[in-house]
Amino acid sequence: MQIHHSQTRMNTQVARFGRNSYIRYLLCRWGLKLLLAGLLNTLHRRWLVAHSYCMSAREALSRSALLLDAAPVTLEMGERDRVAQHAQVEKVDRQRFTDEELKELYGLLRIGHYKTKPSDLETFLDAKGIIWLSLKHENKHVGITISGIEEPVEDVEKAHGLWLGRCQVPQNLTAQTLSRDAGSLEASQLRYCRMMRWCLHPALRGYGLGERLLEQSLVHLKSQEVDAVAAHFGATSWLMKLWLRQGAQIVFVSHGCDPSSGQHSISVLIPRTEAARQLVKCLQKQLAMQIFELLAGPLADMETLAGAFKDILIFIRRVLKRSKKGMFDDDPSVINLFQVGPSPSRWIKLISEGERTGSGKMR
């Protein structure tokens, strides 16, 4: 039936226009269709090319804005020994970084701490009291420490609210941790210099440069007019030993795990004034008195972190040994804590084993 209608319609058209005219009509119609199809095909191809260019430009802009292509400077195998031997720590002016230097430095920061964001770099570049110290060799940044001055909380009501846990002072992390979490109201009245980042080029690990960078950075930070140099980091054995070799004192162990590291956080202080030394004494006394109760509660999972767990206990035991020389004369009960604490025998055994084998040895 459909073929019959098509034939009838064609015969009608032929009768109306004539056979030759009808053929020319069909050719024009088909030609227009082909021309239109070709035009659409060409436009489609050009749109695809333009779209790919736009996507590439947008991707390049995104990578540049978010520093996704940031990476530390490339070090050849042959130059690593030379860099390790001659690299020096120096203070750098954060206002004079070139774009290429910023990418190299952000690459180091991102390797050192996986949660570092471009907004962190912006803070380190713009905030007041930030100190940049770089391990450099021939204008190449191969290590970096970033520290910040934390002013005392001068508002009495705010300091008291911080101690009671009613408010936060994110820009004063040390005062917040030691006052709100450790429970020392006096901690909010001191001025600190806190090391926030400590990063070394991954190709230079194993040369002792990390400890050199930390040691020389601390020399500079100790020259600042502060009561103490502070740091907060995950409870890992090697990192604790490294800081203790620099004269740091453990003053607080967080009761919960830090969301960034997934570990309990250790707070250390290097006191520079008598007020800071008294604060360290008070906080260590409190930690020594509470340690066994904490190990039975919020710090119970630290037994699985054998190295860090043992090092903390060894450190506290040595603090208690120093108490016999007068550190805690005002509270003699602390001296005998390891003998009268609540069921401490299991932890004392770990400490003794660590001291015999040297696995917990600290200088």
254: three-class secondary structure by DSSP? strand
How many domains does the chain contain in total?
2
pLDDT level of residue 307 (50, 70, 90 thresholds) = low
pLDDT at position 95, please?
Answer: 84
pLDDT value for 265: 87
Residues 106 and 234 in one domain: yes
Q: Of 253, 349, 261, whose CA–CA distance to 308 is shortest?
A: 253
Task: Report if residue 279 sits inside a domain.
Answer: yes
The last residue of a domain, from among 241, 271, 286:
286
Tens of pLDDT along 67-116?
A: 667 778 888 887 888 888 888 999 988 888 888 888 888 888 888 776 78
pLDDT of residue 356: 46
Same domain, 179 and 266: yes
Residues 60 and 100 in one domain: no
pLDDT for the residue numbered 179: 93
Same domain, 200 and 280: yes
> Same domain for 161 and 263?
yes
According to DSSP, residue 155 is labeled: -
Q: Residue 315: inside a domain, yes or no?
A: no
221 occurs within a structural domain: yes
**Helix or strand run (H / E) with residue 37:** helix 19-65
pLDDT in tens, 191-230: 999 999 999 988 888 888 999 999 999 999 999 999 999 9
Is 322 domain-assigned? no
Q: Whole-angstrom Cα distance, residue 107 to residue 236? A: 24
pTM: 0.71
Which amino acid type is present at position 192? Answer: Y
Q: Are 61 and 95 in contact (CB under 8 A)?
A: no
| Same-domain status, 128 and 216 | yes
Three-state SS sequence of 279-304: HHHHHHHHHHHHHHHHHCCCCHHHHH
* Strands, sheet with 192-200, edge to edge from the N-terminal-most edge strand: 88-91, 130-137, 140-150, 192-200, 228-234, 264-271, 249-257
CATH number at residue 267: 3.40.630.30
Query: Which of the 8 DSSP states describes residue 189?
Result: G
Strand 249-257 and strand 228-234: the pairing is unpaired
Closest CA relative to residue 252, chosen from 282, 276, 277, 227: 282
**350 half-sphere exposure, CB direction, 13 A CA radius:** 18
- How confident is residue 279, by pLDDT bands cut at 50, 70 and 90? very high
Statement to judge: residues 225 and 253 lie in one domain: yes
Q: Read off the tokens for 290.
A: 């509470």
Domain end position, chosen among 251, 286, 321: 286
pLDDT digit string, tens, across residues 146-166: 999 999 998 899 999 999 888
Does some domain include residue 304?
A: no
Name the DSSP letter for residue 75: -
Q: Is there a single domain that holds both residue 143 and residue 257? A: yes
Query: Do 136 and 94 fall into the same domain?
Result: yes
Identify the domain containing residue 13 by its residue range: 2-65
pLDDT at 1 over 70: no
Residue 87 lies inside a defined structural domain of this protein:
yes
Give domain status of residue 307, yes or no.
no
Identify whether residues 186 and 281 lie together within a single domain. yes
Q: Any residues with CB less than 8 A from the CB of 158 and at least 6 apart, and which? A: 167, 169
Are 277 and 271 spatial neighbours (Cβ–Cβ below 8 Å)?
yes
DSSP 8-state symbol, 185? G
Residue 357, in any domain of the structure = no
pLDDT higher at 311 or 147: 147
Q: 12 and 131: one domain?
A: no
